[in-house]
Structure 1
Amino acid sequence: MDTEAQHTERDSSSPPLTGPEEESRSARFPRRSWRGAVVLAVVCVTVVLLVSHFVTQPFLIPSGSMEPTLRVGDRVLVDKLAYRSGSVPRRGDVVVFDGTGSFVQEAPRENPVTGLLRGAAAAVGLAEPAETDFVKRVIGVGGDHVVCCDRGGRIEVNGRAVDEPYVYPGDAPSRVPFDIVVPEDTLWVMGDHRDNSRDSRDHLGEPGGGVVPVERVVGRVRWIAFPPGRWSALRPTHVFDGVRSPAGAVQAPGGGQGRRGDGHG
């Protein structure tokens, strides 16, 4: 009896087994945990890329052409659904667009692997956008007659002078004259930092005529998401509310439709 009791007590206080079976079992759990983490990471990255591709894309501002509205290093969120379901860009909208064929005649060639990695990083706002992507403000839409400048130095759209409070302090609306009727389904775009922006003015003499096809618009800039001190929504401008289209209609409140001399951005 005493011997059996001692044996039982000794067994219950013995250290756990550390043989091959236990080591194998413990080795399997970290591996499963590692695989689960990888699967979760892949799912998260996939979701982020899908949202970036179809809904909202972060966009890193690489230059000062849109100052003071957007600064170098700002991460903005581009609403890719803004112009779906029949909606089109309006005067005053700040848009991101693919400038291939208008601002850039052909996309630069790059290594497929590095291009894929750069594209993925740019899609989440961690790298500069492609050299063919631009951000500008819509000044004229299809059919608009845009002229610079009136006697007061202001841009005119369909005969109406426009005061532009978003233009960089000290810049003129344009330091060179232009006079253009914007072709249908295209946009006349300009940077807010007029003395530091290469925009539609600089490409009038090139193939594409300096205007951007509406189909090339990626989306509308809605928010500044980073850095934290810059977080804000881009409010619609009302400076074009009184501008009439060539057909006589007035643009709805909250938005933004040539010939020309040489330009400088």
Structure 2
Amino acid sequence: MTDGARSEQGASSAEPSVEPAAAEPEGGTDAGTDSGTDSGADGTGARSKRKSSRPFWKELPLLIGIALVLALLIKTFLVQAFSIPSDSMQNTLQRGDRVLVDKLTPWFGSEPERGEVVVFHDPDGWLADEPTPKPNAVQKFLSFVGLMPSAEEKDLIKRTIAVAGDTVECKKGGPVEVNGKALDEPYIFEGNSACDDMPFGPFKVPDGKIWVMGDHRQDSSDSRYHTSDVNKGFVPVSQVVGRAVVIAWPVNRWSVLSVPDTFGQPGISAAAGAAPGVLGVAGALPFVIRRRRRLTSGRTAG
């Protein structure tokens, strides 16, 4: 069973611009001079030059260089394609699908949210049993600029179930619960249970971590199976590459990977229960301060 996600990125090409040759000015030629000037009707002339266009083979190296630089920048800062080599996210993702991963928003401090499908680096040997091919120099270069999948990076793709501050658990025969709210998970592979193969929790997600699970629950080595590692099964946010937003290939499976509605149900946020109380205290504070000032001034006057 393979849980990894292989990265790939194509480079774009540009059409070379060909500068048109300058038109030869009209008018007669002064046979009495050999300076190369053409005389007009008023006896004045202008030197003519014919500009030759640069051959395509001279433009090609520059175009390839620009394409490679753009591909590297796009792969590093904007979006990267990953191929799906396993069945751990069925039926949401099929083996062989290509997904586009948003790498831009994490640069601005955005962190994974509940329900998002994310790609992340292996946190602590989750893919230790998976063989790693030995690429040659050319393959290393092409994978570096994003023109082919990286053979050395071991990445995984799972769904974010709980984020920092959440309490997550799943008892045998029951649904996954986040902060006491049961998840309705229609995306789980048909015939699978929510967690009967590996019940867990309750666990509280530490700061800077997330809890992830595959949609094919009985074929996914996810957070449940790694609670004895250094991260206790949680994935550090710092290891998250980005959110998978679109299935880009094959064309007949093109779709947006949206967040299921169950993650937006009222009360699921760990902070939601405390928020009304905090807002109430903040709203009452000015009145309490004003009342205390009135009482203090009254006692002083008396």
Q: Is there any run of 5+ residues in structure 1 with no aligned partner, and where?
A: 1-28, 251-265
RMSD: 2.9
* Structure 2 CA distance for aligned equivalents of residues 183 and 112 of structure 1: 40
SS at match of 1:35: helix
The aligned runs of 1:113-262 (5 Å cut-off) are 113=137, 116-117=140-141, 119-120=143-144, 123-124=146-147, 126-127=148-149, 130-149=152-171, 153-175=174-196, 176-179=198-201, 180-242=203-265, 243-245=268-270, 248=273
Q: Give unpaired runs (5+ residues) of structure 2.
A: 1-52, 276-302
Map of 1:3 onto structure 2: none
- Does the aligned pair in 2 maintain the 1:145–1:157 contact within 8 Å? yes
TM-score, normalised to structure 2, is: 0.65
Question: Is the CA contact (8 Å cut-off) linking 2:212 and 2:234 kept in structure 1?
Answer: yes
1:49 partner letter: L
**In the alignment, structure 1 residue 66 sits paired with structure 2 residue 89:** yes
- The residue correspondences of 1:102-121 to structure 2 (distance < 5 A) are 103=126, 113=137, 116-117=140-141, 119-120=143-144
SS in 1 for 2:107: coil
Q: Which has the higher contact order (CA 8 A, sep 6+)?
A: 1
Amino acid of the residue matched to residue 167 of structure 2?
H
* Structure whose CA Rg is larger: 2
Residue 115 of structure 1: how far off its partner (Å):
6.5
SS at match of 1:57: strand
In structure 2, distance between residues paired with 1:61 and 1:207:
26
Q: Deviations over 1:63-98 (max 9, x none)?
A: 111111111111110011233323211110000111
The TM-score with structure 1 as length reference comes to 0.73
Per the TM alignment, residue 163 of structure 1 is displaced from its structure 2 partner at its CA by 1.0
- Deviation, 1:116, is 2.0
Q: Distance in 2 between matches of 1:188 and 1:172?
A: 18
Q: Separation in 1 of the partners of 2:138 and 2:232? A: 32
In structure 2, what is the Cα distance between the partners aligned to 1:212 and 1:98? 9
The amino acid that maps onto 2:210 is L
Question: How many residues in Structure 1 have an aligned counterpart in Structure 2?
Answer: 219
